[in-house]
Amino acid sequence: MAETLIAKTVQAPPRRPARKRFGWLRVTLAFLPLVAILVVALFAPLIAPYDPVTTVAASRLPPSAAYLFGTDAVGMDVFSRTIFGARVAVQFGVIVALCSTIGGILIGTFIGLSESSRGVVGWIGRLLNQISDYLIAIPSIILGIVVVGIMGSSDFALIVAITLCLIQATIKLTRAEVLRVRREAYLEAAKLAGESPLRSALVHVVPNSIGPAMRNMPLVFGNCVIILASLGFIGVGVKAPTPEWGYMISSALSSLMLGRWWPAIFPAIFVALSVLAIAYSSRAIPQVWPYLAANVKKRFRTERNSRA
């Protein structure tokens, strides 16, 4: 009887739920599509069998062992151009994502901290907020065409145009978080402790407000790929003969009308797969970000305590 009671009292430790045990594995697998795109872009010269801007065979050859995706209207290898198109998309996506995120965090923080103030600073904050409202209402393609038309057709103009299209969401996300953080009690404690507004903003407001903007960065990357391809399709994107997916689809429409589908279909498939892969990988950001943010805060506190 005593042994039975002891057996009932001593229970096995609870098993970890399968969801938690395999959480990091699922997060790692979620990032694999994005990593695959980056690998293709990084090693494009090793993957592509031909020069993407050189005529290598007769025009409009169908897919074969020598030319996996066939050739286009001028005899360039479609597979090589599609692979190098990934490099162009990743280059623009990374630059635009960084510019949109960093600029959006800075502008959104400034608006959130200053729009309720009096004087010139408050007027500037409210003006920037209104400009952001106006710009976010303009379709991305129209805004991109206007900016490229004003600045000229260049890579810099495209980066500025796409950044203006995508920075508005980051500004709004950061502003909303700053307005929430401003009501926290530790900001009042920091103010009573004698911290300057600039130090309070950099130490307390920004680190606690950038979470949504950082989680939105992969979506900015994916939207950049779509906008870049759209601008290239209508003829205001990357200059020819640079292998860019939108321009490749546009220039292959005549071949498509003749039944030669491969110069247009394969770049379109890569655009769709890239956007889907980025969207799928972005689902893992909310799971990783709290862990990364906690480690950054812990390291910052350790360094501050060691200096003190």
Mean pLDDT of 37-54: 90
Q: For residue 278, give its domain range.
A: 32-53+67-297
Residue 62, phi then psi, degrees to nearest 5: -70, 165
- Cross-strand bridge partners of residue 77: 71
Number of structural domains, the chain? 1
Q: What is the pLDDT of residues 85-115, one digit of tens each?
A: 999 999 999 999 999 999 999 999 888 888 8
**Is residue 141 one of the residues assigned to a domain?**
yes
**Is residue 11 one of the residues assigned to a domain?**
no
- CATH number of the structural domain spanning residue 255: 1.10.3720.10
Q: Considering only 45-54, 140-149, 298-307, which range has the smallest mean pLDDT?
A: 298-307
**Is residue 188 one of the residues assigned to a domain?**
yes
Q: What is the pLDDT of residues 259-288, one digit of tens each?
A: 889 899 999 999 998 888 888 877 766 666
Would you say the pTM of this structure is higher than 0.85?
no
Residue 13 is given by DSSP the state P
The four Cα atoms 222, 171, 131, 146 give a dihedral, to 10 degrees, of -20
| Residue 265 CA to its chain's centroid (Å) | 25
Q: Quick one: what percent of the chain has pLDDT higher than 90?
A: 26
